[in-house]
């Protein structure tokens, strides 16, 4: 069984989907797995960094071979990182529609088909004024299609005005946006609208229709790719059939032949054919029975309505999520409806998120109807790429992220939903937003906790400051009265701090203070309160001990200081003057007065030291 990784962007677009269908069908025949890293990129580099995180940080060495549809990855930076990682593995790899050195190049005859389409529009329909809607500037296919069309126009003694060129993103929205742009520029009227793909052509068609412009009566319209919606549209769209399934199958088969040490076709080219149809004024035979198209449309409408309900229900549940576990529990009822036989959501330390914090490691697996949690114990077995129960599977992996902040990944097995519906992509973005919400909540809670601690704790020694000590002392005094247990205060003044500060510096003096706090922290009972009262003064407050037991506690403190001094790893020795005061449980004096009495006892010892 082989495991082949496939890298592509915009999987929901018809061209990418058909390529993947060709790859998967061929892999199923061989019993091999296909693992897809899917991207939906934007003009925002930080968003793209997070979107690509699952592939950028993953271990490619676990795969036997690779296929990259780099033309669909609309970010040169990310595309180059993936290509470099593939090359570094030294294993068979194929590139679709982008001639990458060191990779098997598989392409469609993009140029010849576009040239034939262009000549048809110019010679048969005599177009002169053209509005051209291209794809992204870094798309090789888009650049080629525009270049070829421009060349054919010039050969016919005509020109393509750059003012009549609009750069889109291959989605229908770009077609609509392009028509709006031409309208605003006073360039709406044209002999033809030539589009770099069918999605944009369909978007342009409806934007033109909204403005009272009829196709093909008022203007000619063409696309590229021969997608299902364009082939069964009224009017049918003039386009180019690229045979993407064959491209995908060819790329896969060449990688497998290379793995087997067999000869393979270097740089194979899959032919493309123009389809002259009704949108340019030509006749057309429809590839699918009209009744089937209507039935599919109805199914799609019902399916999308259910998907909308699912997103609404999930969004409501996720509103109250305050942890990764909450998100997992909210998502679980939706998973069985996603169409796959397995699903994994992993939230972990894949981008330096703290493994010591349990809230940042989690997720769950769904496999053939059974749910199981991902925990710290099984975290190393977290990756959902491979199967113990055989091959022929399709895994589709998306990053869960907010801008560049990578939270984890979601993987679904043997579901076609990501190929045919925007719902799955919306689901991934909804989960990502919820993870960012939880991330912000946890940051806020941590900040509040820090502020609370700053109010009650001494920042240097991390024992109570005066505010914290007085806040919690009241409860201890109430407990003492209720239990009729006498109380005690131990007052300690660190000896020699001024000399250490003057000779060794205040940083060393601060360390000396922290050492004293550590000694008191280790020697006190858990229920006793410890406070840094002043610069070099500490107070221990407790209940339930007799005078003899308090004196034993002081002996314990002195012994701990001696042990610390005996370690010999400090430039100073710690010592302290210590006094204590016993307080009956029915005491009515204020807390400050009781501390002062213990302070006076401490000064008796300090005066005795000075007399020596």
Lowest-pLDDT choice from 239-253, 328-342, 351-365, 435-449: 351-365
118 token code pair:
């262009």
Q: Is the pLDDT of residue 549 over 90?
A: yes
Helices (H), 163-274: 172-184, 198-210, 228-231, 244-259
Query: Residue 449 — pLDDT band, cuts 50, 70, 90?
Result: confident
Residue with tokens 């719902």: 423
Residues 519, 560: contact at Cβ < 8 Å? yes
pLDDT for res 322: 86
Question: Distance between CA atoms of 216 and 604, rounded to whole angstroms?
Answer: 107
Question: Distance between CA atoms of 312 and 2, rounded to whole angstroms?
Answer: 39
Torsion angle in degrees (nearest 10) through CA of 160, 41, 107, 6: -170
pLDDT for res 488: 97
Mean pLDDT of 458-468: 92
Residue with tokens 């392409």: 107
pLDDT for res 357: 41
Q: Is the pLDDT of residue 388 over 70?
A: no
Residues 129, 139: contact at Cβ < 8 Å? no
Alpha-carbon separation of residue 176 from 8, 16, 183, 435 (angstroms): 25, 22, 11, 33
pLDDT for res 404: 86
CATH topology of domain 466-611: Alpha-Beta Plaits (3.30.70)
Neighbours of 122 (CB within 10 A): 21
Tens of pLDDT, residues 220-256: 999 999 998 899 899 999 999 989 999 999 999 999 9
Query: Residue 286 — pLDDT band, cuts 50, 70, 90?
Result: low
H/E element holding 406? strand 405-413
Query: Residue 359 — pLDDT band, cuts 50, 70, 90?
Result: very low
Query: Residue 278 — pLDDT band, cuts 50, 70, 90?
Result: very high
Query: Residue 443 — pLDDT band, cuts 50, 70, 90?
Result: confident
Tens of pLDDT, residues 146-174: 999 999 999 999 999 999 999 998 989 99
Average pLDDT, the chain: 89
Q: Is the pLDDT of residue 195 over 50?
A: yes
Question: Distance between CA atoms of 249 and 20, rounded to whole angstroms?
Answer: 8
Question: Distance between CA atoms of 446 and 336, rounded to whole angstroms?
Answer: 35
Boundaries of every domain in the chain: 3-101+300-443, 110-246+260-280, 466-611
Burial class (CB in 10 A: 0-12, 13-18, 19+), 332: middle
Count the residues in the chain. 612
pLDDT for res 350: 34
56 three-state secondary structure: helix
This prediction's pTM:
0.72
Q: Is the pLDDT of residue 568 over 90?
A: no
pLDDT for res 530: 96
Q: Is the pLDDT of residue 384 over 70?
A: no
Residues 287, 231: contact at Cβ < 8 Å? yes
Query: Residue 361 — pLDDT band, cuts 50, 70, 90?
Result: low
CATH topology of domain 110-246+260-280: Rossmann fold (3.40.50)
H/E element holding 506? helix 506-523
Q: Is the pLDDT of residue 446 over 50?
A: yes
240 Cβ partners below 8 Å, 6+ apart? 113, 114, 117, 224, 225, 226, 272, 273, 274, 275
């Amino acid at each position: 069984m082989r495991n082949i990784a496939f890298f592509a962007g915009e999987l929901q677009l018809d061209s990418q989907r058909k390529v993947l269908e060709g790859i998967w069908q061929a892999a199923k025949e061989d019993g091999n797995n296909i693992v897809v890293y899917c991207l939906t990129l934007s003009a925002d580099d930080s968003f793209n960094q997070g979107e690509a995180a699952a592939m950028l940080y993953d271990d490619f060495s676990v795969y036997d071979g690779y296929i990259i549809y780099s033309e669909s990855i609309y970010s040169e930076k990310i595309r180059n990182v993936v290509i470099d990682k593939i090359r570094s593995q030294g294993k068979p790899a194929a590139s679709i529609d982008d001639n990458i050195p060191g990779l098997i190049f598989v392409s469609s005859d993009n140029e010849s088909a576009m040239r034939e389409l262009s000549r048809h529009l110019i010679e048969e329909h005599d177009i002169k004024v053209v509005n051209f809607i291209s794809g992204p500037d870094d798309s090789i296919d888009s650049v080629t299609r525009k270049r070829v069309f421009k060349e054919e126009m010039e050969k016919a003694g005509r020109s393509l005005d750059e003012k009549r060129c609009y750069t889109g993103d291959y989605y229908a929205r770009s077609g609509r946006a392009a028509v709006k742009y031409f309208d605003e520029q006073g360039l709406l009227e044209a002999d033809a609208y030539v589009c770099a793909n069918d999605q944009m052509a369909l978007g342009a068609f409806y934007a033109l229709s909204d403005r009272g412009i009829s196709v093909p009566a008022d203007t000619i319209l063409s696309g590229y790719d021969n997608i299902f919606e364009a082939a069964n549209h009224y009017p049918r769209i003039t386009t180019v059939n690229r045979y993407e399934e064959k491209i995908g199958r060819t790329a896969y088969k060449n990688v497998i032949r290379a793995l087997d040490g067999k000869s393979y076709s270097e740089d194979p080219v899959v032919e493309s054919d123009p389809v002259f149809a009704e949108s340019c004024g030509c006749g057309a035979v429809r590839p699918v029975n009209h009744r089937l198209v209507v039935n599919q449309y109805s199914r799609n409408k019902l399916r999308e309505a259910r998907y909308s309900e699912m997103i609404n229900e999930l969004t409501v549940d996720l509103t109250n999520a305050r942890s990764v576990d909450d998100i997992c529990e909210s998502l679980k009822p939706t998973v069985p409806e996603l169409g796959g036989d397995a699903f994994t959501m992993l939230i972990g330390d894949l981008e330096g998120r703290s493994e010591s914090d349990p809230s940042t490691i989690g997720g769950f697996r769904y496999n053939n109807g059974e749910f199981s949690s991902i925990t710290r114990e099984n975290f190393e077995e977290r990756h959902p790429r491979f199967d113990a129960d055989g091959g022929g599977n399709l895994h589709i992996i998306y990053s869960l992220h907010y801008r560049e902040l990578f939270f984890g990944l979601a993987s679904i097995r043997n579901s076609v939903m990501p190929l045919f519906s925007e719902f799955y992509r919306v689901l991934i973005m909804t989960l990502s937003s919820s993870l960012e919400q939880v991330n912000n909540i946890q940051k806020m809670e941590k900040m509040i906790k820090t502020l609370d601690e700053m109010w009650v704790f001494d920042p240097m020694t991390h024992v109570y400051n005066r505010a914290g000590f007085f806040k919690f002392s009241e409860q201890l005094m109430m407990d003492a009265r209720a239990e009729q247990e006498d109380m005690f205060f131990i007052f300690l003044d660190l000896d020699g701090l001024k000399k250490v500060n003057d000779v060794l510096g205040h940083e060393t003096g601060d360390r000396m203070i922290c050492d004293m706090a550590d000694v008191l922290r280790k020697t006190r009972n858990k229920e006793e309160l410890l406070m840094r009262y002043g610069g070099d003064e500490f107070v221990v407050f407790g209940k339930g001990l007799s005078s003899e037991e308090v004196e034993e506690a002081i002996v314990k403190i002195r012994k701990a200081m001696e042990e610390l001094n005996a370690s010999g790893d400090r430039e100073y020795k710690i010592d302290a003057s210590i006094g204590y005061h016993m307080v009956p449980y029915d005491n009515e004096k204020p807390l400050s007065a009781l501390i002062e009495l213990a302070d006076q006892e401490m000064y008796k010892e300090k005066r005795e030291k000075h007399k020596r």
